[in-house]
Amino acid sequence: MPEITISMAAGRTDEQKAGMMRDITQALVKNLGVDADAVVIQINEAPTRAQDEGRQDFVERKAMQNK
């Protein structure tokens, strides 16, 4: 049973996450030959203020990109 853990910043919609999980599941079915029911996917979401890249948290980075 493949188990996939995804870490990402919070903010995606339930529909976006569901679509991503469907696509990942289908890739595992196609490439590993497993049953879709055997695939486990867990999403770990962190608040955007809790993630940092280049000394700016994700909220600050987005604000700078929108200027």
Residue numbers annotated as active site: 2
- As a whole number of angstroms, the distance between CA 48 and CA 67 comes to 18
Judge contact between 44 and 6, C-beta under 8 A.
Answer: yes
Using DSSP, state whether 66 is helix, strand or coil.
Answer: coil
